[in-house]
Chains A and B, each alone.
Chain A
């Protein structure tokens, strides 16, 4: 049986000016959620959180039901937010955040908490899925958006080069403000999770010369039932049996 969808039915702002929230609420035809108003939560629908305060959203309370979609609005126009919210409407869980936020929030763990709340699973399975999602998000962050090459060879020099490049790109808004988008949904007996970045794309090499890097995709392949690279490698889709 296909689980009933838990799609967005209301909107809430966190550090978003009231006039902008009202404008977006009208554009999205989503009622604002006020304290005390359940806004459809009683039948399982979820709340889209528009995040204008990237420090406040670290609190765990914003990652539990009824919240099911998160869009960090920094640098986005109203039109871009509306487009992101339309994509969110197709998923049970959806997050669109900057590269820096995806990394700082430990996004994989938070999304997995959300999935486990929708579909309880054994701890070992949850751990495996968190690792696969963490690897996919790390690839999107490091190699996708920040365009930092992996550690070649097994030396401290390779580690230092990686260290240096990563710190430099993380501090450069041209790279660090690029978006990471995670969408997850339940199908019958499976969870599908996608991670998209705004990098230059990626083709899976036929042979990998393992240095200290290069194991992430293999780990994902070992855990997921199916793994697809889409949009020229800017989007990875993973299917996990449930």
Chain B
């Protein structure tokens, strides 16, 4: 998985690319650190170019949500498609995280 960060006025937009699996633990730690450091309250993960996510990837997104909540920030998952959208639905993540189309 790779990611790019774009600071906007109201939010920080993070675009995830490739596959998000248990192998990406180090990348996720780095990303969470960066999201905690920047000022925006809304941290948006754009998933439109993410191709594959597994249960560990879901787990790491939940860690990110928890860490943002502890820092009084909001995590938003946006534009999931294909397999990624399907997994978010099967795992019922909408009950826990804000999901936008």
Contact = CB atoms under 8 A, between A and B. Distances in A.
Q: Do most interface residues of chain B lie in helix, strand or loop, or is the interface mixed?
A: helix
A200 to B, nearest CB: 19
Contacts of B60: 151, 159, 212
B62 interface: yes
B25 A215 contact: no
A134 B20 CA distance: 12
B91 A127 contact: no
B98 interface: no
B63 A159 contact: yes
A152 to B, nearest CB: 11
In this complex, the interface size class of chain A, counting residues with CB under 8 Å from chain B, is 20 to 34
A166 B22 contact: yes
Interface string B53-76: 011101110110111000000000
Contacts of B83: 127, 130-131
Nearest to A213: B59
A176 interface: no
Interface stretch (A13-21, A58-66, A216-224, A228-236): A216-224
A163 interface: yes
Contact of B90 (A150, A151, A159, A219): A219
A158 B56 CA distance: 12
A158 B63 contact: yes
> Which of A103, A155, A159, A219 is the most central at the interface, judged by chain B CB atoms within 10 Å of its CB?
A159
Nearest to A160: B29
B56 A138 contact: yes
Contacts of A159: 25, 28-29, 32, 60, 63
Interface of A: 103, 106, 124, 127-128, 130-131, 134-135, 138, 142, 150-151, 154-156, 158-160, 162-163, 166, 211-216, 218-219, 222-223
